[in-house]
Amino acid sequence: MQSSFNWEFLSDDNGAYTDFKEKMTYGDYLQLESLLNSQKRLSDHHDEMLFIVIHQVSELWLKLMIHEIESATTAIKQDEFQTAFKMLARVSKIQSQIIQAWDVLSTLTPSEYMEFRGYLGNASGFQSYQYRLVEFVLGYKTPHILKIYEKNPVLHQRLKAAFEAPGLYDVSIQALAKQGFPINQLVLSRDFSKEYIQDSTVADAWLAVYRDTESYWDLYQLAEKLVDIEDWFQQWRFRHMKTVERIIGHKTGTGGTSGVGYLKKVLDHYFFPELWEIRTKL
């Protein structure tokens, strides 16, 4: 019986390229050989592959988040709000993907994880430098974190630069000042390596924006984009905490933290506190 599958049709008549001896392929462009050979299990346990892939995928999404947030920060500085809004909207969509990754990881049971957990040593997501970069570009600065990366001078310098630079919220506050709102000068000229502290002049400015959205439409949209990001970030933190609790309970983390206790504590942190405070006042 003659096969109905016509290879010649697929390779020629439909115009698809089949000769890549001198051309770049999809795999070449994405460097798939390197990417797909980066999952090196330390144990023979089947589920360690899941553990590695979930964390690697999350790191790729974090890389894109940093790329978008840094570019959005620059755009806001230059009063290019529409450009920034597109980037920040993309960040929120990325966050939804990272949150769903916890759903996949939560299929790992405590018994399965304990079969290979000992192979991890002190390696922990707590040490993720990209996660720290996301915190830094969003404005959450914790100085003791930098010590973790001292063994890599290039990486340490990159983190230090982000640590000392104004974050996304800082340039948003500067945008308020540019629009004529009387922002406390100590806030505008503050040491950006210090954790941001709420300020009444910033709260008053955002409140005025929300009470007159037509006059301050760009600032209003900016505020809502920031709230979107913080909302998704808190949902990510919560899913992280619950997934860890589901898999290891209240054991100490491999990185030496209190595990679930540490993750619960950071749930109380706000990147953009005034934007949440004013909701009660509206």
| Residue 117 marked in a binding site | yes
What are the CB-based long-range contacts (under 8 Å, 24+) for 73-76? 73/137, 73/166, 73/167, 73/168, 73/171, 76/168, 76/171, 76/172, 76/175, 76/222
| Residue 279 marked in a binding site | no
| Residue 278 marked in a binding site | no
| Residue 270 marked in a binding site | no
| Residue 55 marked in a binding site | yes
| Residue 51 marked in a binding site | yes
Going by the annotation, the residues of the binding site for heme are 240
Going by the annotation, the residues of the binding site are 51-55, 113, 117, 240, 254
Going by the annotation, the residues of the binding site for substrate are 51-55, 113, 117, 254
